[in-house]
Each structure stands twice: as C-alpha cells, then as structure tokens.
C-alpha cells in the first residue's frame, strides 16, 4: 500500500510520550516489512529537522540524542514529491479550511495522487475528516 505521511506520523513513532506512538510504530513496522511505501511533500525533511531541534532546545532530548533520532527518521525511505504544480490547490485548501500551507501541501498531494494521508495532527484530522475521507489519524492505524 502506498500512502502520504506527514512529519507528525514519523515523529510519533520515535517520541514515546506522544499520543498515537504505538500506532505510528506499527505503521513504521509495516513499512520495514515492505507493506507500505511513503510519499510526502519534500518539506517533510525540514519539518523533521526542525522538530528534533525544538525537542533538543526544550530539553526533551539531549542534543546528541535529538540528532541521532533526526538521522534515523531521515533514513526512512520517503518518496519526496515536488509540490510546485499544486500551489493553487494548496492555497485554496489553506484559505477554505484556515490551515497552514504546510498542512495543506500534504492534503493536496494525497488528493492529487488519490492516496490515503496519515497525519499525526489530531486537530488537523478532526477539522478535515468530513470533507476529505482520505485523511486518516495515526491513532486509528490498525496495521496492514
């Protein structure tokens, strides 16, 4: 199965105190078994780097551990997609749903590729699930 994932899903798999951690770990385990292929906008790289930097600055992890986690997460094979051609759709989703362009990029990508989109952002999921049936909350991931 091929899906779109956001950085929150990847982070939840590595940050054990996060809601949805167990489900995110199952998703990563399915990926490791070859059952899943991940796609994401290329911005996912920067989101993961930034999240690890913030975790380090907030003393959630020592700097060296945060860097190790970042490198492990960035070693996950995610097919990073250019989203330039989706800029108008990203803008329209952002305006209509009052979402960031970053969040809207994942939605527009999944929509354009006709794939499920797993998010680690429960608020995002709850605000979009009525209009975008392909948006899934990682906390509901059962495993492949």
Report the Cα–Cα distance between both ends of the chain, in Å, rounded. Answer: 8
Q: What is the mean pLDDT of residues 81-106?
A: 97
Q: Mind listing the pLDDT tens digit for each residue in 21-53?
A: 999 999 999 999 999 999 999 999 999 999 999
Confidence band of 67 (pLDDT split at 50, 70, 90): very high
pTM: 0.93
Q: Identify the helix (H) or strand (E) that includes residue 24.
A: helix 21-32
Q: Is the pLDDT of residue 144 over 50?
A: no
Smallest CA-to-CA distance from 4 within 59, 32, 34, 42 is with 42
Smallest CA-to-CA distance from 112 within 136, 139, 138, 89 is with 89
**In the chain, where are the structural domains located?**
2-140
Q: Say if domain 2-140 classifies as CATH 3.40.50.1010.
A: yes
Q: Is the pLDDT of residue 101 over 80?
A: yes
Helix, coil or strand: residue 15:
coil
Q: What phi-psi label fits residue 138: left (phi over 0), alpha (psi between -120 and 50 degrees) or beta?
A: alpha
Q: Mind listing the pLDDT tens digit for each residue in 1-24?
A: 999 999 999 999 999 889 999 999
Angle between helices 101-113 and 87-97 (to 10 degrees): 120
Q: Residues in the chain, how many?
A: 144
């Amino acid at each position: 199965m091929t899906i779109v994932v956001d950085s929150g899903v990847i982070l939840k798999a590595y940050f054990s105190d996060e809601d949805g951690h167990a489900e995110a770990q199952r998703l990563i385990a399915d990926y490791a078994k070859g059952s899943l292929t991940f796609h994401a906008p290329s911005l996912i790289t920067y989101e993961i780097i930034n999240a690890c930097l913030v975790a380090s600055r907030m003393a959630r992890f020592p700097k060296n551990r945060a860097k190790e986690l970042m490198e492990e997460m960035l070693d996950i094979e995610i097919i990073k997609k250019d989203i330039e051609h989706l800029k108008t759709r990203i803008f329209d989703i952002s305006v209509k749903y009052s979402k960031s362009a970053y969040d809207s990029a994942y939605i527009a990508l999944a929509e354009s590729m006709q794939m499920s989109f797993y998010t680690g952002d429960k608020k995002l999921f709850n605000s979009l699930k009525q209009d975008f049936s392909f948006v899934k909350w990682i906390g509901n991931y059962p495993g492949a």
